[in-house]
Structure 1
Amino acid sequence: MAAENRTEPGLRDRFRAQVRQEVKAAALRQLAEGGPEALSLNAIAKQVGMTGPALYRYFTNRDGLLTELVIDAYGDLASALARAADADATDAVARLAAVVRAFRTWALTEPHRYRLLFRAPLQGYDAHSTSLVEASQPAMTVVLDVVGALAKPDTAVPDGPAVQFREWMKRHGIEDVPEAVAARTTMLWAHLHGLVSLEIEGNFSSMGIDPGTLYETEVKDFVRSL
């Protein structure tokens, strides 16, 4: 009996983890079909075979579920970028190119999750909470690292942005990164995000432009600018 009691919590924990994963999978399907606005706990409950009230034992509300999906997505994006950076640790240019290509590949493979991270937040949802800001940092850290290996650290940055970058880095414990590297990384992130966002929404198709070629050109221009 004692041995049975010892194993029971483990079984409950595994069952709870399994249910939570099933709920997240159902939520991701909803996101893919209709975006964050379509997220419905009652609909998810039906898909996984439980009642709405029962689902609240696993997630307190819709925003709680949404937050976990965002944190998971940031983690997966960071892992994809880190794997790309580690693939060729000796060539700084190749590492940077691999990371920014991995960024686009992840977005094209997971467009509904990419939108979840980078589109305008839902009304009433705090997309800038401490937990989400912290979850976003590992991906940015990878990009800071690969840009820092190439950027000139002593490049002048205007006083206003320089102070803001210093404050931002201090909040995240990355004070050893020069303001010039932070500035260049932010510009790269903004450019690539703009291109990827236009691509996954189909804007380049109507223009007859190959987004892959445009993206590669942007990467090459950025490397030259360093």
Structure 2
Amino acid sequence: MATTTRTTTPRERYRAQIRAEIKQHAWEQIATAGASALSLNAIAKQMGMSGPALYRYYLNRDELITELIRDAYRSLADAFRAASAASGSGTGLGALAHALRHWALADPQRYFLIYGTPVPGYHAPDDTTAIADEIMTALLDACPAAPADASVSPFEAHLAEHRTWAADHPAAPATLRRALAFWTRLHGVLSLELAGHFTGMGFDAGRLFAAELQDLLAAAGSPPGRG
């Protein structure tokens, strides 16, 4: 069966190059002043373009923010996919935890764009939400299932009726609870570390993350993953 190779014109390649440059300037702005201060006019000035010229590449600020958020979620989803593929049997949760921390430390501004304070007035489109669902699905797939005869806590009973966040995953309520514990506790450590709240406290934040992960894996009945 013949394969079709997608070709691009010089105009398309130039447009992609300019869009990538705009995004790079946007990340620099976010690192300096946060996503809420993102300005297309300021980016145009940095690039030696007029405002109307830049708007040929991004219609407005929300479209640019959407592109950045989409890129951020996609990069984490890809990191989770690679970690899942590389991990051995029973090590999935640990592998995902280490992938999450490596991804967050590599680019804190990217992390905070999707897991920090929401951008005022911005609502993520459905396709971006779908990528975020891939991340949660990978987490739920890696969580060991609870014993069939395990008792159900009040919160797990609540999760049985409030599972929209789980993206239609068939996991039992106890597994949903394990996934949430994993997600919230590790994000709590990462958010504080990346925001600099551990600075001067005299301990290694990486060791704190590892200790939290060890406790979570023990509670889930899963062996440690590879770092």
Give me the TM-score of the superposition, normalised by structure 2: 0.85
Task: Report what 1:80 is aligned to.
Answer: 79
Q: Tell me how far apart the structure 1 counterparts of residues 81 and 200 of structure 2 sit (CA, whole Å).
A: 33
Matched-pair contact (CA < 8 Å) for 1:41–1:52? yes
Matching residue's letter, 1:146: A
Matched-pair contact (CA < 8 Å) for 1:73–1:117? yes
Query: Which piece of structure 1 moves more, 26-35 or 56-65?
Result: 26-35
Q: Tell me how far apart the structure 2 counterparts of residues 153 and 19 of structure 1 sit (CA, whole Å).
A: 54
What's the offset of the Cα at 1:168?
A: 4.0
Q: Tell me how far apart the structure 2 counterparts of residues 86 and 26 of structure 1 sit (CA, whole Å).
A: 33
Task: Report what 1:136 is aligned to.
Answer: 132
- Counterpart of 2:122 in 1: which secondary structure? coil
In 2 relative to 1, CA 23–142 (structure 1 residues): closer, same or farther, beyond 3 Å?
Answer: same
Q: Tell me how far apart the structure 1 counterparts of residues 18 and 117 of structure 2 sit (CA, whole Å).
A: 29
Task: Report what 1:51 is aligned to.
Answer: 50
Matched-pair contact (CA < 8 Å) for 2:36–2:120? no
Task: Report what 1:163 is aligned to.
Answer: 161
Q: How does 1:1-226 map to 2 (within 5 A)?
A: 10-88=9-87, 90-93=88-91, 95-127=92-124, 129-147=125-143, 150-152=144-146, 154=148, 155=150, 156-158=152-154, 159-165=157-163, 167-169=164-166, 172-174=167-169, 176-226=170-220
Q: Tell me how far apart the structure 2 counterparts of residues 124 and 131 of structure 1 sit (CA, whole Å).
A: 18
Matching residue's letter, 2:97: V
Q: Tell me how far apart the structure 2 counterparts of residues 142 and 211 of structure 1 sit (CA, whole Å).
A: 25
Matched-pair contact (CA < 8 Å) for 1:151–1:184? no
Give me the TM-score of the superposition, normalised by structure 1: 0.85
In 2 relative to 1, CA 61–153 (structure 1 residues): closer, same or farther, beyond 3 Å?
Answer: farther
Q: Tell me how far apart the structure 1 counterparts of residues 40 and 55 of structure 2 sit (CA, whole Å).
A: 9
Matching residue's letter, 1:164: H
What's the offset of the Cα at 1:99?
A: 1.2
What's the offset of the Cα at 1:46?
A: 2.1
Give the fraction of aligned pairs with identical amino acids, expressed as a percent.
42
Q: Tell me how far apart the structure 2 counterparts of residues 216 and 113 of structure 1 sit (CA, whole Å).
A: 22
Q: Flag as ranges the 4+ runs of structure 1 deviating above 4 A.
A: none
Higher RCO (C-alpha 8 Å, min separation 6): 2
- Counterpart of 2:162 in 1: which secondary structure? helix
Task: Report what 1:3 is aligned to.
Answer: none
User: Which has the larger share of helix?
Assistant: 1
Matching residue's letter, 1:60: L
- Cα RMSD, aligned residues only: 1.9
Query: Which ranges in structure 1 are unaligned for 5 or more consecutive residues?
Result: 1-6
Matched-pair contact (CA < 8 Å) for 1:157–1:179? no
Q: Tell me how far apart the structure 2 counterparts of residues 71 and 142 of structure 1 sit (CA, whole Å).
A: 17
Matched-pair contact (CA < 8 Å) for 1:70–1:132? yes
Matched-pair contact (CA < 8 Å) for 2:44–2:51? yes
Task: Report what 1:4 is aligned to.
Answer: none
What's the offset of the Cα at 1:47?
A: 2.4
In 2 relative to 1, CA 102–31 (structure 1 residues): closer, same or farther, beyond 3 Å?
Answer: same
What's the offset of the Cα at 1:161?
A: 2.1
